[in-house]
A and B are shown apart, each in its own frame.
Chain A
Amino acid sequence: MSDRILEKLSILADAAKYDVSCSSSGSKRTNEGGLGNAEGMGICHAYTEDGRCVSLLKILLTNQCVFDCAYCVSRKSNDVRRAAFTVREVVDLTINFYRRNYIEGLFLSSGIFSSPDITMERLVRIARTLRREENFHGYIHLKTIPGASDELLREAGLYADRLSVNIEMPTKESLALLAPDKKQEDVLRPMAFLNESIQASRDEARSLKTAPLFVPAGQSTQMVIGATPENDWQILKLSDGFYRKLNLKRVYYSGYVPISNDNRLPAIGTPVPMVRENRLYQADWLMRRYNFTVDELVTPADPFLDMQIDPKLQWALRNMHLFPVDINTADLETIQRIPGIGLQSARRIWEARKFRKLTWEHLKSFRIAANRARHFITLQGDGPRKDLTPLQIRSHILAGAHSKYTANHSPQLPLF
């Protein structure tokens, strides 16, 4: 018995790991005398050897699938061991891991083992059992199965904190090439449906205190990066649309991990594009938290992010006419845009200077990245050298610090 469940877990966790989302934040579910809560920030309970956060029990219900998406280990034509959990097994694992403080909750996805509706119904049944029978108030993230009915999506939304529909590929063409069974509409339609339902339930909650929670942590999606030729501008434009038009909470970027000899895809052994993935996350963060637009970060004419320096610094070096900024007088948004100064230090600067004029000593005590920031600020008349070109500033900064990735994961450098 225990050997069989161990084997299932190893197969179905392994197959689920390429979905990078592990967030458990942003919900509002409180404990009502039972087990668990899902309020607030979400917690990373552990870290794998690859340094990724483990917050949720992330598994597939089954890795059997009738589809044949080329980038996926569970695709029909792949020769791998198959397994399937029962509803009870998933419920017991979730509850017992949760009680030991291993996890914040469950992230459940599945291969499509027969029809989309039958698959989705099984996922919903697990969530319902956890909520209704086990009195579980921890976090539940369900992946929605493309092609499942609206009724099932609606029911899923009553139990889940978050739902996600993965866009997988940044363009229709790439999806058609690699996932012949899927159409982009199959993904966009449920996203739009969920968005409408979520907005409607928000409106209802405003007028009616007892309105049930409906996907309180919103919806997210994921796209695979580096398997297909799209550039960063295309990718970020797509994300921007998801944030603005469909109110998505997060877009995840998953650097493609080569898993197949299919000649439509990068060969096995090709490095995972981790630096690029990281730069996309940085750009995404600048869009969501710093009010940068896509076109400030990349343009159709210059559509790739610089791999060596972060996107905020790239932007600043292209816009030297906006600098240097006077720390003692600039407004908050301007301070936030200075390379080397994060949201928290910007706020500290802005608060602290109400008491007295700030000096370099103060700034250092706020732990800003002085090596970068010094090229872009003036403090009581003391400013940066004026004779440096953006290119020279770039190399000064690079000489003074190296990216946390360069040591381990530098992209292959050409020999000449």
Chain B
Amino acid sequence: MQAVLYDGSWYGFMAAVFDVYDYRFTDVSVCPADRFNGHLFSEPHRVYTDEKKAKRVAAGLLNKISEDASAQLYRCFLSGDAAIEETLLAYIRYALSSGPSVESDFSHPAVIKVTQIAKKVWREQHRMEAFVRFQKTADGLFYAIIEPDHDVLPLIAKHFKNRYADQRWLIYDARRRYGLSHEDGGVSFIEVSFAEGSTSARDVAHVYDASEDLYQKLWKQYMTSVNIAARKNLRLQVQHMPRRYWKYMPEIGG
């Protein structure tokens, strides 16, 4: 088996696909270099992340499948699931080898798998759009922390940019240690480093805007008041809003 190592980025993966075809690797395992278990393989092939190669693969795919389907592949990639590359490569091989689009061939194992993983990531993307909670700091920045299972920050950028067009905000993924920042109408990804020992935004409480505490209280009060005790159904609540998200939600956990 031939190991193909890439840098862990989406472009890197697309470049890896290019190499798989270019070198005519058949029995192949594509994986991020930092997850590579060297004992299993001899002489791995290292992919150079060349944007041109990546774009050729992307364009080649678009000759075969729709933009929606190719967006699904990207979503799938962001799942971070173990051996996701294997599933994606199986799909891509099938798509490129076939004449008509295979994207609706749900009875093909790779197609149904990609569809289901993409759906899972899509669900978390929408949960993040719903469950992000901003806190206003004294200098007017709206700041939120998330810890999603999948790397959805790139997927939610557009939603928050459209919605909070006139607002300075920052969403920080504490698990992957990077953030999405919106200043002066543009969004950018940024690395944030906290001082030693203070990895969480809980520690920046003293920099909150004077009104922040009041609005959190009002929000908690609101959530208590709209509840109808006679209809209590905690199971349903948790089903919609799994506990792992509660940490940063002031009305319930945070």
Contact = CB atoms under 8 A, between A and B. Distances in A.
A35 B166 contact: yes
Given A45-B130, A48-B227, A351-B106, A100 B136 contact: yes
A53 B226 contact: no
Interface in A353-408: 353-356, 358, 362, 365-366, 404, 408
Contact of B237 (A16, A50, A274, A351): A50
Interface string A27-58: 00011011111000001111111111110011
A413 interface: no
B233 A51 contact: yes
B226 A13 contact: yes
A259 to B, nearest CB: 9
A55 B239 CA distance: 17
A351 B211 contact: no
- What's the interface size class on A, roughly? 35 or more
A101 B133 contact: yes
Given A100-B133, A101-B144, A366-B112, A36 B163 contact: yes
Contacts of A51: 231, 233-237, 239-240
Interface in B226-250: 226-237, 239-241, 249
Nearest to B132: A101
Contacts, number: 163
B149 interface: no
B130 A9 contact: no
Contacts of B227: 17, 48-50
B166 A352 contact: no
Contacts of B163: 31, 35-37
Contacts of B108: 355
A78 B194 CA distance: 55
B204 to A, nearest CB: 16
- What's the interface size class on B, roughly? 35 or more
B233 A46 contact: no
A72 interface: no
Given A6-B218, A13-B226, A348 B233 contact: no
A13 B222 contact: yes
Contacts of B240: 44, 47, 51, 53
Interface string A322-361: 0000000000000000000000000010011111101000
A235 B221 CA distance: 35
B142 interface: yes
A403 to B, nearest CB: 13
B41 interface: no
A48 B235 contact: no
Chain A to chain B: the 9 pairs with minimum beta-carbon distance, closest first: A51-B236, A351-B104, A13-B225, A50-B231, A352-B106, A51-B233, A48-B227, A352-B107, A355-B105
Given A43-B129, A52-B228, 14 more contacts: A5-B214, A6-B221, A10-B224, A36-B163, A47-B240, A48-B227, A51-B233, A54-B226, A351-B104, A352-B104, A352-B105, A358-B107, A365-B107, A366-B106
Interface of A: 2, 5-6, 9-11, 13-14, 16-18, 30-31, 33-37, 43-54, 57-58, 93, 96-97, 99-102, 135, 255, 257-258, 271-272, 274, 348, 351-356, 358, 362, 365-366, 404, 408-409
